Amino acid sequence: MKLRVGLIGAGGFGNLHLSGYKKNENCELVAVASRTEQSATRASGKFNIPKVYWGEDWRKMLREEKLDVVSICSPNYLHTPMTIEAINNNVNVLCEKPIAISMKELEEIEKLLQQKNLIFFSSFQKRYNPLMVYIKKIIENEVLGKITLVRYFFSHLGPYTSWRPLSQQKWFFDSEMAGGGVLLDLGVHCIDTLRYLLGEFTEIEGYSQNTSCKNIKNEDNCNVLFRFRNDTIGFVSVSWCNEPAEVIEIFGTKGILKIDLHSSEPLSYISRKLKRSEYIKDALAYEPGSGRTQHSLIDHFIDCVLNKKQEHPNFKDGKRATEFALKAYSFKK
């Protein structure tokens, strides 16, 4: 029997979720909800989804469609109310990032999830880049020695320039609807990937931001300095003002690794001695493919729902990434 799947928010990323479910043989797309009839109908036509809801009727969809699974791909301020309604209707949730925009919302979801036996996934698809598995092995096997510093740079020219949301609402630049700026948008990906590679972060130690290219209230450039539990220093730098780039640099006592995620040859390293390591050789042999990491995440989520197992990226991963941004914001003067 196939899982009954619904989706809320038939925008740019919602469409990518829908294509993932469409390809998964264990799923049947049964309903789609969006703010406007136009967006919901467009997705329904494109993916052959029988039921369509718009306006506030996403609540009705969750109540009436007997869904097994829902993807939440709406603007950030709606993630928590939609998640809560889904949990109350016993629907397993894949929620887009950030899963919430306040600490209070995180607490509300956590409390409710503890009362139910549901699968919750946070949409951190960067973990599914196969290269990350190689990098994690390099770190865990101490090829780079003790890791002392990690830097993650992630930029593009911003929503509506580099990334094309589909909704006419232009909510990304509305501080109420987005809940934050580039840190809450891109920074949460960085910290999730770094937590996956290096473990938990503890303290936020420094923060700087400005609004230099978009005419918005929130930050469009942002740096966060922080610390991991093992004392490694971390630095996340995100921007909606610079050319698209995504680079991770890992500094250890025995070597340095640079991962340029936009390059066809993503890995470079210092020193030459590192090439003797089988782990480095394996990582160098990796050729970036055309596979969609979002589809890998959806396949994993569906497998977890079918087999009733909660794996990562789970609620805690979504919570910690959101906390990272919110704690950094508390440094704002």
Residues contributing to the site for ligand NAP (CB under 6 A): 8-14, 33-36, 39, 58, 73-76, 78, 96-97, 123, 125, 165-169, 185
Contact at 8 Å (CB) between 89 and 83?
no
Cis peptide bond N-terminal to 98, omega within 30: yes
Question: Residue with structure tokens 């030459």?
Answer: 272
Residue 161 Cβ vs ligand NAP, minimum distance, rounded to whole Å? 13
Residue (168 or 230) nearer to ligand NAP, CB: 168
- CA 97 to chain centroid, in Å, comes to 5
Q: Max Cα separation, the chain?
A: 62
Query: Nearest-CB residue to ligand NAP?
Result: 11
What 176-180 contacts at long range (C-beta under 8 Å, 24+ apart), as own/partner pairs, is 176/77, 177/75, 177/76, 177/77, 178/75, 178/76, 178/77, 178/101, 178/218, 179/76, 179/77, 179/98, 179/101, 179/102, 180/76, 180/98, 180/101, 180/218, 180/219, 180/325, 180/326, 180/329
Question: Cβ closer to ligand NAP: 73 or 182?
Answer: 73
Report the nearest approach of ligand NAP to the CB of residue 59 (Å): 9
In the complex, minimum distance from the CB of residue 327 to ligand NAP, in angstroms, rounded to a whole number: 19
Amino acid at 111: K
Cis amide bond preceding 313, omega within 30? yes
Q: Output 42 or 137, the one with its CB closest to ligand NAP.
A: 42
Looking at the Cβ atoms of 8 and 93, the one nearer to ligand NAP is 8
* Amino acid (1-letter code) at residue 82: M
Nearer to ligand NAP, 58 or 235 (CB): 58
Nearest approach, Cβ of 249 to ligand NAP (angstroms)?
A: 21
In angstroms, what CA-CA distances link 297 with 21, 129, 192, 283, 323?
10, 10, 14, 21, 22
**Of the two residues 34 and 232, which places its CB atom closer to ligand NAP in the complex?**
34
Alpha carbon 100 to its chain centroid, in Å, reads 12
Q: Which is nearer to ligand NAP, 87 or 95 (CB)?
A: 95
Residue 252 vs 320, nearer CB to ligand NAP: 320
Q: How far is the CB of 297 from ligand NAP (least distance, A)?
A: 9
Would residue 210 be called left, alpha or beta, if left means φ above 0 and alpha means ψ between -120 and 50 degrees? Answer: beta
Please say whether the beta carbons of 186 and 178 come within 8 A: no
